[in-house]
Structure 1
Amino acid sequence: MSNPLEKALYGDKLGITDIEALFDVDLWDLGMAAESLTRKYFGDVVTFIPNMILNYTNVCVIACRFCAFYRPPGHPEAYTLSVEEAVRRVEYVDKTFGIRQVLVQGGINPELGIEYYESLFKAIKARLPHVAIHGLSPIEVDYLARKHRMSYAEVLDRLRLAGMDTLAGGGGEILVDRVRREIAPHKISTGDWLLIMETAHRMGIMSNATMMYGHLETRRDWAEHLYNILQLQRRTHGFLSFTAWNFEPGNSELTRAIPYPKTSATLLRVVSVARLVFRNELPHIQSSWLSNGLDAARLALRFGANDFGGTLYEERVIPATGLSMPVLTRDDVVNLIRGLGLRPAERDNWYRVTKYY
């Protein structure tokens, strides 16, 4: 069977060349195929989680070319929240809106050791035991391992014991070292990112996978990225979800080379191919509205995505690019999903449905 779309639909194993060829298939054909698989696996249910993002610091020494959020140490706009202030923010958002998850993300701040994260996670759990901590990423795990001369497993174990429930998929960008050297030369390699994820999975710590497209990569790189994630998933079954998001030029250094973002059609193509590649081996595909926008995110729910992500209160990274973003409440998300003729369902951190609407 030579047609890559037929191979994907019939469940044949796809190589990198097959996945690359899928990206050239007509978008509507891709969408219909991906939609058919999504409805087969999930019916008309679309999940979401009420959550917030805790950007605890903007100090970072990695200096990714695509990031407009970070500030170097000593910069007048640099900040780091104390544990007490960070927990107070989580408590305020939970009291105001009601949340099930806090996504903890910041930067590689050389002033922070593992004790800061342990104190933060323990404090959140002590005061908000119903809120799951979706925390950090392989980038922080690698940094803490080098700083404290510990193994990846030791770092992950300490974070888990302190209250981290799942590991975030940040720092994945494109899992091709040539691309990584161009957009984030100080970040860990593809192999290290995958190794940290595999270590976490084998310890019983689930995570999500991400992909940032629309900068200096090629479609072949997209294919290699998805293939790398799928191969790890087949070994560990530790990825809960996959999220693709577009590079937002804004105020970052990379804007000089890439002044305009990709169109929404690119998001739909990536989401559709991800569904066809992952099928239900990596079951949950998020329709990220944060950088892609609400209209594109709604469409993605008809092109292979089955999860709308979260409400994302308090997010500060995307506004740093100059892009304005709405505040979505639980009711807003429910109405957006209903408007597509689909059934909203609230979920927990592990994608277990807690309430149907």
Structure 2
Amino acid sequence: MGPRLLVKDSMDAGKSVAYKVFEKMKGRLSYVESVEKLLHGEANVKAIVDAFQEDLNVIGALANIITEGVTGRRVGYIINMILNYTNVCTVRCKFCAFHVKPGSQKAFTITPSEAAKIVREHYERFRIRQVLVQGGVNPELRLDYFVALFRAIKDAVKGRVAIHGLSPVEIEWLSKVEGESIKRILEELRSAGLDSIPGGGAEILAERTRRILSPLKGLHDSWLRVMSEAMKLGIPISATMMYGHIESLAERAEHLIRILELQRKYGKIMAFIAWNYEPAAELKKLIPYAATGIEHLRVIAVARLVFRDEIRFIQAGWLTAGREVAQLALWYGANDWGGSLYNEKVLPAAGVELPLLVRESIERMIRSVGREPYERDNFYRPVR
């Protein structure tokens, strides 16, 4: 997939609405050439770094116009739950307050039958359409556990709930411990019921930050390698970015470019999700405060300028940024609310209280800022 020019009207030589607004706002921009490059799909580190330092209202307006050109004023959401199947992890990321070491008295691992019961209860109560399966690198769990887990979930809900599961780190671990290729592991998981892969574990796809934040996780090429294999098999993924910690603007730019290049090569990234680092665990000593809501809006807007229509959906990020900031994000380039995320345990472990969201409250929040809500499925398709 090559770059496409959103700023040019495909029907004639006239300029699009986004480009007309850009022309009017040139006087308010400090980095005119950089913003223009992004609008033309010519993303590079300098242009993105410059965009991060631009007038937020200007780049927000441009991002909003691009988004409305992609999906109008419609905003999707999904009713889903998170299944944290274990809290045992040997990777020990410096920002994670959820994991425990093997043998800890606080350790837990949910059996496939227990997981099936939990998912079935959420389906019957909330009519969830997706279960987000997340845990950690637990050395006691092998491929047969995940095959049994996925099959039990699918059987419990008669296949009506999609499994958006595991992270590249977990998949790479299974490849090593089983002595099988990543491709083979993915094929087994897909046969058992895996529908798509979340972007967890990306953090910032830059060597320096990963060596500091999660040295046991592997460098950025590990995440990219697993995701490439998945997309070559036709398995869709989402891409994430955790910002607001030790990363530089240039490293944020590298991250966005690597995701864009991945999409241009395989075209299977369904959505981009940015979330701010929540002060917790060892990293809290160095970074005691979370990024502001203003910074979240800036990240959303710049991401839209970079991805344009090549990654159609950008989530608003209510889980970490909060509901009010997420509502604003719907005018700064975001066009998906994300999920209800019932049963989430990772953020509460870091001290973040989460609301109980149901369809009515999600739709009310979207409508209250002048957007039209619609429920979607795991693959970002509208449903009744």
TM-score by length of structure 1 reads: 0.97
Among 272, 286, 304, which residue is 2:301 paired with? 272
1:125-144 aligned within 5 A: 125-128=154-157, 129-144=159-174
Q: Give the partner amino acid of 1:234.
A: R
User: CA shift at 1:6, angstroms?
Assistant: 2.4
Q: Which segments of structure 1 move beyond 3 Å, counting only runs of 4 or more?
A: none
Tell me, yes or no, if structure 1 residue 239 matches structure 2 residue 273: no
Among 322, 325, 342, which residue is 2:351 paired with? 322
1:326-341 aligned within 5 A: 326-341=355-370
1:137-156 aligned within 5 A: 137-156=167-186
Aligned-residue Cα RMSD (Å) equals 1.0
* Count of aligned residue pairs for this structure pair: 353
Tell me, yes or no, if structure 1 residue 42 matches structure 2 residue 65: no
What's 2:107 paired with? 78
Residue aligned with 1:3, SS:
helix
Residue aligned with 2:50, SS:
helix
User: CA shift at 1:2, angstroms?
Assistant: 5.5
What's 2:204 paired with? 174
Residue aligned with 2:258, SS:
helix
Residue aligned with 2:346, SS:
coil
* Cα distance between partner residues in 2 of 1:40 and 1:238: 21
* Cα distance between partner residues in 1 of 2:244 and 2:364: 30
Q: 1:8-32 deviations in whole A, cap 9, x for unaligned?
A: 23x2412111111110111111110
Mean Cα deviation higher: 60-69 or 86-95:
86-95
1:206-221 aligned within 5 A: 206-221=236-251
* Cα distance between partner residues in 2 of 1:91 and 1:14: 44
What's 2:14 paired with? none
* Cα distance between partner residues in 2 of 1:7 and 1:216: 27
Q: Give the partner amino acid of 2:307.
A: F
TM-score by length of structure 2 reads: 0.91
Q: 1:295-344 deviations in whole A, cap 9, x for unaligned?
A: 11111111100000000000000000011111111111111111111110
User: CA shift at 1:7, angstroms?
Assistant: 2.5
Residue aligned with 1:232, SS:
helix
* Cα distance between partner residues in 2 of 1:158 and 1:290: 31
* Cα distance between partner residues in 2 of 1:12 and 1:302: 21
Among 277, 284, 288, which residue is 2:317 paired with? 288
Residue aligned with 1:221, SS:
helix
What's 2:379 paired with? 350
* Cα distance between partner residues in 2 of 1:19 and 1:236: 22
Tell me, yes or no, if structure 1 residue 17 matches structure 2 residue 17: no
Higher alpha-carbon Rg: 2
What's 1:298 paired with? 327
Q: 1:157-181 deviations in whole A, cap 9, x for unaligned?
A: 0000000000111100000011000
Q: Give the partner amino acid of 1:38.
A: T
Contact 2:376 2:383 (8 Å CA) reproduced = yes
Q: Give the partner amino acid of 1:56.
A: Y
Contact 2:78 2:338 (8 Å CA) reproduced = yes
Q: Give the partner amino acid of 1:69.
A: F
What's 1:109 paired with? 138
Contact 2:41 2:306 (8 Å CA) reproduced = no
Contact 2:164 2:194 (8 Å CA) reproduced = yes
Residue aligned with 1:66, SS:
coil
Q: 1:62-96 deviations in whole A, cap 9, x for unaligned?
A: 00000000011111111111111111111111111
* Structure 2 unaligned residues grouped into runs of 5+: 1-30
* Cα distance between partner residues in 2 of 1:259 and 1:162: 42
User: CA shift at 1:284, angstroms?
Assistant: 0.6
What's 2:37 paired with? 7
Residue aligned with 2:383, SS:
strand
